[in-house]
Amino acid sequence: MANYTNNELITAYLSRQIQDDDLCFVGVGTNGRAFTLAVGIPLAAARLAQMSHAPGAAVYWGNLLEPDLSVIPEHFTQDAFTQWQAAACPPDTGVKCDMLARRKFDVSFNSAAQLDRYGNMNITAIGDYRKPKVRLVGSLAQPEHFAFVRRPILLMDLDARSFVEKVDFITSAGHLSGGTSRREAGLGEGGPAIVVTDKAVFDFAEGTREMRLKSLHPGVTKDEVLAAMSFVPLVPETIPETETPTAEELARIRNDIDPNRILLKV
């Protein structure tokens, strides 16, 4: 039986994707699992990276630039944000958009209601845009993430309703229809780099830009992953296992980063 949780596995994996001096954009989450995916795991991963191989890494979250991740608030309230020590507290969201457009972010953590085989993301509407079945939150600067961030990372639970053949609406342009279609559309380099889920990790093949199974989490089979998707990704002949957390990483997560289970609780 594994001595780590799925959240701890993902946190450790994501921390290894963060390089020294990276500036990471962490988005927002409401509560429950959405908060854990959008905020909790990314903040824990960034702090774990700081404590190991990337001491110069930093995050921009909410209206805080470089909050002190060594002291995580016990409750994520407005009062806690006001008192959280940070390098800066810009007055409005326009600062973040300006930083995005000037390519100041190395990594962004994103999530979506729908994601297709070429990494196009939808958080706008399910169904026809003009008469949707569900109206979602809207863009939230996500188009800029896929346009200007060097290594966007998608963090989602694997589900056939979310991993679809074609998104109902393209909020953020991934690799469009694959191949060179992104460049032909006049877009620069960009789109998601990897997709980290509760069962597996995916990347995008260099030539076709199709989603490709990169690794399976311990104990998860290829058939389990494919059954939780509405399309079949590229599957290599040999699929490695996602690297598990070390004893040192687990100790840091549990004792130093998230002792009160605020970040990784769901």
What is the full DSSP assignment across 5-38?
A: -HHHHHHHHHHTTPPTT-EEEE----SHHHHIII
pLDDT on residue 22: 98
Q: Which residue has the higher pLDDT, 124 or 83?
A: 124
As a whole number of Å, the end-to-end CA separation of the chain is 20
pLDDT on residue 116: 98
**What is the number of residues in the chain?**
266
Calculate the CA dihedral of residues 109, 111, 115, 118 and round it to 10 degrees.
Answer: 0
Confidence of residue 92 (pLDDT cuts 50, 70, 90): low
Residue 120: closest CA among 173, 197, 169, 69 = 173
pLDDT on residue 1: 55
Helix (H) or strand (E) holding 81: helix 78-83
Confidence of residue 78 (pLDDT cuts 50, 70, 90): low
Does 262 score more than 60 pLDDT?
A: yes
197/187 Cα distance (integer angstroms) = 27
Q: Count the Cβ atoms, other than its own, within 10 Å of residue 226.
A: 16
Q: Which residues contact 160 (CB under 8 A, 6 or more apart)?
A: 227, 228, 229, 230
* Residue 122: both structure tokens together: 């939808």
Record the pTM: 0.94
User: CB-based burial of residue 159 (10 Å sphere; 0-12 exposed, 13-18 middle, 19+ buried)?
Assistant: middle
60-74 pLDDT, tens digit per residue, is 987 788 999 999 888
145-180 pLDDT, tens digit per residue, is 999 999 999 999 999 999 999 999 999 999 999 999
1-48 pLDDT, tens digit per residue, is 579 999 999 999 999 999 999 999 998 767 889 889 999 999 999 999
Q: Report which residue type is found at 215.
A: S
Give the residue carrying structure tokens 């309703």: 161
Task: Out of 71-85, 187-201, 240-254, pick the least confident.
Answer: 71-85
